[in-house]
Structure 1
Amino acid sequence: MAHMSVRSARESDAAGIAAVHVQAWREAYAHLMPAAFLSSLDTERREAGWKSIIDDEITDVFVALDGEKVIGWASAGAGRDSSSPAARELEGIYVIAAAYGSGAGQQLLDAAVGDDAAYLWMAENNPRAEAFYRRNRFERDGMVKTESFGGASVHVVRLTR
């Protein structure tokens, strides 16, 4: 990475966040979701959604940049679950594979939830992500659910700290 930094997202980052969102899903979930579903992901639709999220003043969104290019993002806010185990939920965090090992993921996590008590939902069969979360003191708490994406059922587990 030439010059990696992390900051709060701006509406002008929405296209970059959407591009990372789609690319990171394709890279991280190829073993969990149908290829047709992953190839159908639409960055333009996601861009509109990200503009709305960035502007909503409910969700905190952060971007990791390599120079001016978005290489990762994280979002966090008040827990969305009715029985939240912590006041803060890491709603999403993704870094493109080319930026693995750059420190972008750690800086995004630090910006989004710091060292505070928090929780997140993670695809159950995601060893790279789970190792990252464990290094940051997140542990499975026994809560599980099934999400449906593109016709595939994905088991997700909750991690807390």
Structure 2
Amino acid sequence: MDATWRILPLTAEYTRSLAECHIACWREAYRGLVPDHVLDAFDIDRLAEQTERLRVAHPRLNTIAVVEDEVIGFAREGAAMDDSVVTPRQLFALYVRAAWYGTGVAHDLMRAVLAEDADTSLWVFEENPRAQAFYKKYGFELDGERRVEAFTPALEVRMVRRVTGAR
């Protein structure tokens, strides 16, 4: 890719583009893992409304990668909200459009959101070794926990990144 991306906090002008990116990323990354009827049922308008409500309630939760006026990736990170909290921080989402795989966009998003001084956890599809390998590069390790993903019958596994000296 020749275009240069910018890493920005999510603002209202980008909520629809983030929703479009989010749905496109799910369809690109999870076809064959998530049932087609689930992927095909995603509604951009509904997700844009939810994203805007989330942005207003938690203004620093979403960080986006933008080329011109299009969101090509995003990360969602904040205080952990799992039922069984094991770390103070949680990476809720990290997605990059397939056309931007391998360009450094995901790396820049991770650098922008990972707390240097706090342990962080995330959930990833068990049958997504590519994503697991990516997270391992940033110090995340499987901790043995599994659950069924909220919108699909797919299993997720938890990965945890411990920061030396973090409490």
Residues 1-55 of structure 1: CA deviation (Å, up to 9, x unaligned):
4111111110111111100110000011112111122112111110001001111
1:38 maps to what in 2? 39
Distance 1:32 1:42 in 2: 19
Q: What does 1:1-161 align with in structure 2 at a 5 Å threshold?
A: 1=1, 2-57=3-58, 60-115=61-116, 116-149=118-151, 152-161=152-161
Give the SS at the match of 2:153. Answer: strand
Distance 1:3 1:148 in 2: 34
Check the 8 A contact 2:9/2:60 in 1, yes or no: no
Amino acid at match of 2:66: L
Distance 2:41 2:6 in 1: 30
Give the SS at the match of 1:3. Answer: coil
Report how many aligned residue pairs link the two structures.
159
Residues 74-125 of structure 1: CA deviation (Å, up to 9, x unaligned):
1111100243221110011111100101111111112122434211011110
Higher strand share: 1
Check the 8 A contact 1:53/1:59 in 2, yes or no: no
Percent identity over the alignment is 33
Amino acid at match of 1:124: E
Amino acid at match of 2:47: R
Change (3 A) 1:7 1:59: closer
Amino acid at match of 1:126: N
Deviates more, 1:51-60 or 1:2-11: 51-60
